[in-house]
Structure 1
Amino acid sequence: MVCLLTGYSQGFQPDKIYVRNIQLKEGLSQMVVTDMAQDAKGFIWISTFDGLNRFDGNYMKVFRHNPEDPHSLPSSKIHKLHAGNGRFLYLMSSEGFHIFDTRQNQTIYPSVLKKYNLSWVLEETETKVWFYIKGKGLLRYNSLTEEVIEYFTPLIPKETDLLDILSYGNKIFSVFSNGDILELDDNTGNFQLFNFPIPKSVFTTAAYDKYHQIILGSITGELHQFQPLNHQFQQSPLLALNQKLVAVNSIQYDSQKDLLLLSSYGQGLFVYDYTISKLFQIKKNEHILPIAANYCLKIFADRSGFIYLGYDGSGLDVFDPYVKKFVPIVRKDSEDTKTIKFVRKIAEDDRGNLIIGTAGSGLVRYNKTQKHFEFFSFKNLLNLSENYIIEMIRIGSELWIGFNGNGIVVLDINTLQQKHSISVGPLSNQLSNGTIWSFLHDHKNRIWVGTRENGLNLIDSQRKVIRQFTAEAYPFFKNNGLRCLYQTREGAILIGTEKGIYQIDEQFKIIRLFPKENSLRTGT
């Protein structure tokens, strides 16, 4: 089997996204992920029913309630998060609303929190913060001067809870769980209430789409949108694309990829690609993406292009578009010589085809576009033993192949037709041994050949003359296979063997570098 690496590209291309699941063993404090947010430094904060997690992409740091520490979280059961533009993280836990200082890693209690019974927040800028007070209205708070301006109104909907606070231009929208939307004009201080037209509706999430329409998602199956410009409610047109788009509990527009992300409790993840006007549904055990579960609680896209999907009991999935993904190249056949296995070396021809050297199936050419295999075990009149390729190197337009006991064959890299071969023997155009373990094409266009059983060979490719460094002349090569060859910047040739590392210079003097030893032999 061969594996290709594929990288990141724009748009929703699930086959090029690497998914990894994060659970307790990766450091997550608890398996029910309720919310996620990204702070100004890029950390991802993950709330659970047992702790707050700070994720740096590799490691988790967990914060929990400590009854002996008054600055710890008041509760470890956290329902909701909001990260602003500065140092503060805002939380709603089983003990109410809190502010967490991400620099000091502790809960803080500013004067505004002591004076007012705050229940949620929107941080527009690092200093301009909007707080909601249940049943009363909004506060505009300057975190630098601690100045507070009250925007209270009797228009607050009764017997319903706030879902979220959204801003667009000079308008602040308070969205409630019954679908009502309260608009505040920040310039005039005037409120307008827009009642959702269907009574007794219950929504669980609210967020902007690409066009700054407010999308309302409900666990009961409703999906509606609100036009801030004309103040009209309507059913979302996305429902017509997939009848399974129900129980949406989290929505986010990903501006980097032009995607609308919608998580569902029971139907997995939905992704609407604006560039092609297509809605994708991603479920567990389906081929699109290997997500961990269908019972999602939160979807979140960060500023770097990563997508995070939190579950009810299955931890967290991270969709990474930058990690290169392995794509297997596999071919199985009842005939052993037509199966891709024991891959030794890979080269590439001028047309982009992969040339694969195997131990048992000979030489294989693979067309990456057509996904077609072509076997050359017998077309080049190679016998069975020669199907065992150990070493291979491309030199210009030639492909040099070293076999297990049958010397070297040189092919045209594009046609794979044989140009010539090099056999074993004592002559000036022959090799010291036929089991080829290593090749090196040096700076002087010479080819060095390391063997398993009888030393080193230096091939002058112009004169077709071979110099042998045999075990008889160089006893340290006896029973000492030459695994690899490397040329330094200074021109010396390093020889990696089963008994250490050797060096041969331009005067063909060989010394052992490791273990250290005096000069072993000088060529004549």
Structure 2
Amino acid sequence: MKYIKSTLAIIIFSLLCLTDVYSQEISFNHLVTENGLSNNSVISLYQDAKGYIWIGTRNGVNLYNGNEFITYKSHKSDPNSLIFNNIQKITGNGKDEVYFMTPKGVSALNTTNNQFTTLIQGYIRAMHYHKDLYVTKDSHIYRHNGKQFEPYYTLNNCSNIGALYVCDDYMLIGTEEHGLFRLDKQKKLTQLLPKVNVINIFQDSVGRFWIGTWENGLYVMDGNSMKNYLHTESDPKSISSNFVRSFCEDKQGNMWVGTFNGLNRFNTHSGTFSCYQKSEREHSLTHSSIWSLLCDEQGTVWIGTYFGGVNYFTPQYQVYHHIQVSKVEAEGSVSRL
């Protein structure tokens, strides 16, 4: 029995190692301006209630139905168009509205009548939807009451709020200079991380929070514990950059982390990272700087790059079963959005 257990342990360990080896051979599919994308700098991604993929760029937003793009842009002569073309974040109410955050304000699109309205003007730095729409401007948080935005909370003597995540009982607030805070329903404020520039906050399926920072790497908050992952030049299994921008969780429960220098897959068994970057290989990433990530309902992972458009693949077929999916098969899975 002892021999069998030892043999099984060796097999499991070998399979985990093989997974990391084969994961380097992911075949990424690409969507760029030649395919109809309005711009190759993809800053934000979102899947709406109908299953369509919204792709926010520096020059308009694109609705992708699996076969073609519909592009929406700001038009000065049309008050019912986007407020601005630089789309920094996209979210929605899970029904008939999609929200677009830009440096000049937030636009809402009613998907029933296909008409835009401007909800708020000014430099909006963060946005999150949980039962209501929340946005931040400078050090102020606003909540939409169904008709307009109203003040919700202000961080006194604090820097700009650059990240926001709202839960039932509290919200996490990430700032540019003063770290991470938790604000409960009684408006009690607790500082969780000091003096880091928080870029993004993501909650996974088991309740952990993944916190991306500018220059300070990745923080993972699990209950009351906080662990920091930093890039180490001498360690190829460390995170590939300390500039951490985006996250998504695939259908197998593995985390993907977008950084300034590469896409990372976090191995929950070993606590290490596998990195994917642009190379000369035909189906590699089109650009190594990752801005946005999304795992859609079908399990496809979408990757928004700084200058290489959108890359996408399905981890279930490539990372875990080591099968190279053809472009025709991959596009077929997207068309069933």
Same fold, judged at TM 0.5 (above): yes
Give, in whole Å, the separation in 1 of the partners of 2:324 and 2:164.
Answer: 37
Q: CA deviation at 1:107?
A: 1.6
Say if 1:33 and 1:48, in contact at 8 Å, map to a contact too.
yes
Counting only pairs closer than 5 Å after superposition, residues 459-470 of structure 1 correspond to structure 2 as none
Residue in 1 aligned with 2:30? Answer: 21
Amino acid at match of 2:293: I
Counting only pairs closer than 5 Å after superposition, residues 505-524 of structure 1 correspond to structure 2 as none
The Cα offsets for residues 342-380 of structure 1, whole Å up to 9 and x where unpaired, read as xxxxxxxxxxxxxxxxxxxxxxxxxxxxxxxxxxxxxxx
Q: CA deviation at 1:62?
A: 0.3
Q: What is the TM-score of this pair, normalised by structure 1? A: 0.50
- Which structure shows the bigger proportion of residues in helix conformation? 2
Q: CA deviation at 1:32?
A: 0.7
Secondary structure at the aligned position of 1:78 is classed as coil
**Alignment pair present for 1:129 and 2:96:** no
The Cα offsets for residues 174-199 of structure 1, whole Å up to 9 and x where unpaired, read as 2223363332333xx332130523x3
> Which blocks of at least 5 consecutive residues in structure 2 are unaligned?
1-18, 318-322, 328-337
Provide closer, same or farther for how the CA distance between residues 133 and 76 of structure 1 changes in structure 2, counting only shifts above 3 A: closer
Q: CA deviation at 1:40?
A: 0.9
1:250 to 246, 249, 254: 246
What count of residue pairs does the alignment treat as equivalent?
299
**Alignment pair present for 1:151 and 2:146:** no
> Which blocks of at least 5 consecutive residues in structure 1 are unaligned?
1-10, 328-524
1:235 to 224, 228, 232: 228
1:203 to 198, 204, 219: 198
Residue in 1 aligned with 2:287? Answer: 293
Secondary structure at the aligned position of 1:25 is classed as helix
Amino acid at match of 2:219: H
Give, in whole Å, the separation in 2 of the partners of 1:221 and 1:137.
Answer: 25
Residue in 1 aligned with 2:208? Answer: 213
Amino acid at match of 2:191: F
Residue in 2 aligned with 1:520? Answer: none
Give, in whole Å, the separation in 1 of the partners of 2:205 and 2:178.
Answer: 20
Say if 2:291 and 2:305, in contact at 8 Å, map to a contact too.
yes
Q: CA deviation at 1:73?
A: 0.8
Give, in whole Å, the separation in 1 of the partners of 2:198 and 2:221.
Answer: 13
Counting only pairs closer than 5 Å after superposition, residues 116-515 of structure 1 correspond to structure 2 as 120-125=126-131, 128-139=132-143, 141-143=144-146, 146=147, 151-153=152-154, 155-156=155-156, 158-167=158-167, 169-178=168-177, 180-186=179-185, 189-194=186-191, 196-197=193-194, 199=195, 201-209=196-204, 211-227=206-222, 229-230=223-224, 233-236=226-229, 241-242=237-238, 244-254=240-250, 256-266=251-261, 268-274=262-268, 278-285=272-279, 290-320=284-314, 325=325
Q: CA deviation at 1:30?
A: 0.6
Q: CA deviation at 1:218?
A: 2.9
Give, in whole Å, the separation in 1 of the partners of 2:278 and 2:123.
Answer: 42
1:99 to 105, 108, 113: 108
Rg comparison, structure with higher value: 1
Give, in whole Å, the separation in 2 of the partners of 1:298 and 1:119.
Answer: 16
**Alignment pair present for 1:55 and 2:49:** no
Say if 1:53 and 1:60, in contact at 8 Å, map to a contact too.
yes
Give, in whole Å, the separation in 1 of the partners of 2:219 and 2:72.
Answer: 37
Provide closer, same or farther for how the CA distance between residues 130 and 95 of structure 1 changes in structure 2, counting only shifts above 3 A: closer
RMSD after superposition: 3.4
Give, in whole Å, the separation in 2 of the partners of 1:130 and 1:176.
Answer: 15
Q: CA deviation at 1:90?
A: 1.8
Q: What is the TM-score of this pair, normalised by structure 2? A: 0.75
Q: CA deviation at 1:207?
A: 1.8
Secondary structure at the aligned position of 1:103 is classed as coil
Amino acid at match of 1:152: Y
Give, in whole Å, the separation in 2 of the partners of 1:297 and 1:117.
Answer: 19
